[in-house]
Amino acid sequence: MSAAAQASGASPKSIRARKGGAPLACLTAYTTPVARIVDRHCDIVLVGDSVGMVLHGLPSTLAVTLDMMILHGQAVRRGVENALLVIDMPFGTYEESPAQAFRNAARVMAETGCAAVKLEGGVDMAETIRFLVARGIPVMAHVGLTPQAVNTFGGYAVQGRGADAARIAADASAVADAGAFAVVLEKVPETLARAITADIDIPTIGIGASAACDGQILVVDDMLGLFTDFRPKFVRRYGELGQAAAEAVAAYCDDVRARRFPAPEHVFSDVAPGTTA
């Protein structure tokens, strides 16, 4: 899929213009087949660095590399025609300086054809966001619980409770002022999400931040129930595909061992169709 095709669908400008309008529906994708499914319905498709945990079995997102993001970004690009394609900048590829962020973000955009990148951080990342936007790289921001800072937070706890609300609000305001076209609010109380959404002029995309936001995003594998043992409070399961897949695999193995598969209809004969022996 070319960058020109992306231009015919959603854009950072059109997403920003949705502020206060119909809620934005967003999901992650990491492969071409899943991208084709979610692209039919979503406004934004995010290639999240959650790919490290979801597809590669890593314990966190911290070991995800730029090459991994580009590889999965290219795969998703082939399946996206209408939604806005955004790709996460992984840990260690943008924090050092605005110049480092530009080099790596430019590479991601050039090699994947995505329309925007996402990076984590608020006040501390405002200068970098401003630098990127001024040089033609649209940025989606991410504040609240930022998984790349899990070691600093000491886990995946809710952010912005009590006096800490001011910090998250300042982060959201800073990224909006710096030129981000949207901001993900992760795992913050509903009251805070509502206040931030009312206060800033760019769409807020919630994940564990209530319906007060301008849109919602989930990891597609969580929403589909592909993990039978992972049930975060903020995820609603719209399917139980993990259990269905397990049952299908068990049935297949049973049929193989009982020689019920392959059956006659799955076997090729010595005579080609339409011919006689």
From residue 197, alpha-carbon distances to 2, 45, 67, 202, 212 in Å are 34, 21, 34, 8, 7
Complete DSSP assignment for 190-230:
HHHHHHHHHHSSS-EEEESS-TTSSEEEE-HHHHTT--TT-
- CA neighbor of 171 nearest in space, from 212, 214, 119: 119
Range of weakest confidence among 25-34, 158-167, 232-241, 267-276:
267-276
- Closest by Cα among 195, 228, 226, 231 to 210: 195
Considering the domain boundaries, does residue 96 fall inside one? Answer: yes
**Residue where the block lists tokens 């799955």:** 266
For residue range 171-211, list pLDDT tens digits in order: 999 999 999 999 999 999 999 999 999 999 999 999 999 99
Tokens 């002022």, residue? 177
Which two tokens mark 158? 């809710």
Give domain status of residue 135, yes or no.
yes
Task: Look at the alpha carbons of 123, 176, 133, 204 in this order and tell me if their dihedral is positive or negative.
Answer: positive
Instruction: Tell me the per-residue pLDDT of 76-86, one tens digit each, with 9 for 90 and over.
Output: 999 999 999 99
CATH number of the domain residue 31 falls in? 3.20.20.60
Any domain includes 261: no
pLDDT for the residue numbered 272: 83
Confidence of residue 232 (pLDDT cuts 50, 70, 90): confident
Residue 88 is assigned to a ligand binding site: yes
At 128-175, the pLDDT tens digits run: 999 999 999 999 999 999 999 989 888 889 999 999 999 999 999 999
118 marked as binding residue: yes
Instruction: Give the number of domains in the chain.
Output: 1
* DSSP codes, 39-101: HTT-SEEEE-TTHHHHTT--SSSTT--HHHHHHHHHHHHTT-SSSEEEEEPPTTSSSS-HHHH
- Judged on CB neighbours under 10 Å (0-12, 13-18, 19+), 123 is middle
pLDDT score of 277 = 60
User: Looking at the domain assignment, is residue 8 inside a domain?
Assistant: yes
120 is in an annotated binding site: yes
Answer for the pair 36, 225: CB distance below 8 angstroms, yes or no: no
| 81 falls within a domain | yes
Answer for the pair 195, 169: CB distance below 8 angstroms, yes or no.
yes
**Interatomic CA distance for residues 49 and 28, integer angstroms:** 10
Range of the domain at 12: 3-239
SS3 269: coil
Active site residues: 186
Q: Which helix (H) or strand (E) holds 120?
A: strand 116-120
CA dihedral 59, 62, 65, 66 (to 10 degrees): 140
219 within a domain of the structure (yes/no): yes
Q: How far apart are CA 116 and CA 9, in angstroms?
A: 13
Q: What's the pLDDT at 227? A: 87
Whether residue 268 is contained in a domain is answered as: no
Instruction: Extract the tokens encoding 189.
Output: 């109380």
- 110 part of a folded domain: yes
